[in-house]
Structure 1
Amino acid sequence: MTRIFIIIGFVILLSVSCKNQNKIHFTPTFTESKETTHEIPKGQEYTFGYLEVLENRDKPEGKKIKLPIYIFKSRSKNPNLDPILYTVGGPGYTSMRASKYMKYYKYLDDRDFILFEQRGTQYAKPSLDCPEWAKAVYESNLLDFDSSDADSLFQKAATFCSERLRENEVDLNNYTTNQIAADINDLMNVLGIDEYNLLTMSYSTKIAQVLIRDYPDKIRSVVMDSPLPLEVNYDEESVANLLEALDKLLSDCEKDPDCNDAFPNIKSRFLKYLEEKTKYPLEVIVENPNNGEPETFYLKGKDLINVFTSASTGSVPNIPLEINKILNNDLTSVKKQLQSLFNEPGNGIGIGMRLSVWCAEEYPFNSQEKITNETNKYPEVKGLSPSVFDDGICEIWGVKKVSDIENKAVNSDIPVLLISGEYDEETPVKWATSMSNHLTNSYHLIFKGWKHGPTTNWGNPCAMQTANDFFNNPTRKPNSACLEEIKSPEFKTVE
Structure 2
Amino acid sequence: MKKGWLMILLSMFTCLTNIRAQQKHYKPVIEPCKCPVEVDSTIKTRCGYLIVPENRKKRNGKTIKLPFIVALSPNPHKRKDPILYTAGGPGGSSLRWARGAARHAIIKDRDCIAFEQRGTYFAQPRLWTDDIVQAIQESYRKNLDKDSMILVGVQRSKKALEAKGIDLSGYNTDETVADIDDLLITLNIDSVNLLGGSYSGGLMLAVLQHDPARVRSLVLDSPLPAFVPIDEDEPANFNEALTIMFRRCEKDSVDKTLYGNLRQRFRDYFTAIGNKTFYIPYLEKGTTDTLQVAYTRNELLNVLVNTMSDYSRIKEVPYIITEMIKGHHAVYMKDVLDGIFNNGGFASGMRISVYCADQTAYHDESILRQVYNVYPYMEGYHINDVHRQICDCWKVPPINPKTKQPFYSNKPALLADGEMDPACRPLYIDRIHHYMPNSQRLLFTNGSHMVLGGREMDTMVRAFLDNPFQPVIPQQEGVIAY
TM range (shorter): 0.7 to 0.9
CA 1:314/1:242 → structure 2, altered by over 3 Å: closer, same or farther? same
1:351 and 2:386 correspond? no
SS in 2 for 1:274: helix
Query: Is 2:433–2:440's contact at 8 Å kept on the other side of the alignment?
Result: yes
- Aligned pairs for 1:100-111 (under 5 A) are 100-111=99-110
Letter of the structure 2 residue corresponding to residue 110 of structure 1: D
Query: Is 2:143–2:294's contact at 8 Å kept on the other side of the alignment?
Result: no
Query: Deviations along 1:126-151, whole A, 9 cap, x unmatched?
Result: 111132222223223x142221x733
| Pick aligned residue for 2:459 from 442, 448, 465 | 465
Query: Is 1:209–1:410's contact at 8 Å kept on the other side of the alignment?
Result: no
| Pick aligned residue for 2:415 from 418, 421, 429 | 418
CA 1:24/1:367 → structure 2, altered by over 3 Å: closer, same or farther? closer
- Aligned pairs for 1:242-253 (under 5 A) are 242-253=238-249
Aligned-partner Cα distance in 2 for 1:107–1:181: 24
Query: Is 2:81–2:192's contact at 8 Å kept on the other side of the alignment?
Result: yes
| Pick aligned residue for 1:474 from 461, 468, 477 | 468
Aligned-partner Cα distance in 2 for 1:221–1:206: 14
Q: How many residues align?
A: 459
More off after superposition, 413-422 vs 160-169: 160-169
- Aligned pairs for 1:179-194 (under 5 A) are 179-194=175-190
| Pick aligned residue for 1:322 from 320, 323, 332 | 320
SS in 2 for 1:119: coil
1:31 and 2:28 correspond? no
CA 1:67/1:259 → structure 2, altered by over 3 Å: closer, same or farther? farther
SS in 2 for 1:30: strand
Q: Which residue of 1 aligns with 2:158?
A: 162
Q: Which residue of 2 aligns with 1:241?
A: 237
Aligned-partner Cα distance in 2 for 1:277–1:476: 52
- Aligned pairs for 1:164-179 (under 5 A) are 164-179=160-175
Q: Which residue of 2 aligns with 1:16?
A: none
Q: Which residue of 2 aligns with 1:8?
A: none
Following superposition, the deviation at residue 369 of structure 1 comes to 1.9
CA 1:61/1:302 → structure 2, altered by over 3 Å: closer, same or farther? closer
| Pick aligned residue for 1:221 from 213, 217, 223 | 217
- Aligned pairs for 1:340-419 (under 5 A) are 340-345=338-343, 351-375=348-372, 377-386=374-383, 388-419=385-416
CA 1:276/1:81 → structure 2, altered by over 3 Å: closer, same or farther? same
Query: Deviations along 1:406-459, whole A, 9 cap, x unmatched?
Result: 221122111111111111111111122122111121112111111111124x5x
Query: Deviations along 1:259-293, whole A, 9 cap, x unmatched?
Result: 75863222222332222333545554444444355
Query: Deviations along 1:388-417, whole A, 9 cap, x unmatched?
Result: 434333233222222221221122111111
- Aligned pairs for 1:79-228 (under 5 A) are 79-140=78-139, 142-147=140-145, 150-151=147-148, 153-228=149-224
Following superposition, the deviation at residue 485 of structure 1 comes to 5.2
Aligned-partner Cα distance in 1 for 2:385–2:378: 16
CA 1:342/1:195 → structure 2, altered by over 3 Å: closer, same or farther? closer
CA 1:51/1:22 → structure 2, altered by over 3 Å: closer, same or farther? closer
Query: Is 1:245–1:423's contact at 8 Å kept on the other side of the alignment?
Result: yes
Aligned-partner Cα distance in 1 for 2:67–2:191: 21
Query: Is 1:221–1:414's contact at 8 Å kept on the other side of the alignment?
Result: yes
Aligned-partner Cα distance in 2 for 1:340–1:334: 10
CA 1:21/1:79 → structure 2, altered by over 3 Å: closer, same or farther? closer
Q: Structure 1 residue runs of 4+, over 6 Å off?
A: 20-24
Letter of the structure 1 residue corresponding to residue 54 of structure 2: E
- Aligned pairs for 1:304-315 (under 5 A) are 304-311=300-307, 312-315=310-313
Aligned-partner Cα distance in 1 for 2:403–2:324: 43
Q: Which residue of 1 aligns with 2:426?
A: 429
Aligned-partner Cα distance in 1 for 2:125–2:338: 30
CA 1:23/1:386 → structure 2, altered by over 3 Å: closer, same or farther? closer
Q: Which residue of 2 aligns with 1:337?
A: 335
SS in 1 for 2:96: helix
Letter of the structure 1 residue corresponding to residue 312 of structure 2: G
Q: Normalization by structure 1: what TM-score? A: 0.84
SS in 2 for 1:401: coil
Following superposition, the deviation at residue 82 of structure 1 comes to 0.9
| Pick aligned residue for 2:265 from 248, 263, 269 | 269
CA 1:76/1:293 → structure 2, altered by over 3 Å: closer, same or farther? farther
Query: Is 1:418–1:442's contact at 8 Å kept on the other side of the alignment?
Result: yes
Aligned-partner Cα distance in 2 for 1:210–1:183: 12
Following superposition, the deviation at residue 108 of structure 1 comes to 1.4
SS in 2 for 1:455: coil
Following superposition, the deviation at residue 48 of structure 1 comes to 1.0
CA 1:72/1:105 → structure 2, altered by over 3 Å: closer, same or farther? same
More off after superposition, 116-125 vs 298-307: 298-307
Following superposition, the deviation at residue 337 of structure 1 comes to 1.6
CA 1:382/1:110 → structure 2, altered by over 3 Å: closer, same or farther? same
Unaligned runs of 5+ residues in structure 2 are: 1-19
Query: Is 1:56–1:62's contact at 8 Å kept on the other side of the alignment?
Result: no
Query: Deviations along 1:154-206, whole A, 9 cap, x unmatched?
Result: 33333333333333332222211111111111111111112110000111112
- Identity in percent: 28
SS in 2 for 1:80: coil
Letter of the structure 2 residue corresponding to residue 129 of structure 1: W
Following superposition, the deviation at residue 221 of structure 1 comes to 0.2
CA 1:347/1:302 → structure 2, altered by over 3 Å: closer, same or farther? closer
Q: Normalization by structure 2: what TM-score? A: 0.86
Unaligned runs of 5+ residues in structure 1 are: 1-19, 488-495
Structure ID, larger Rg: 1
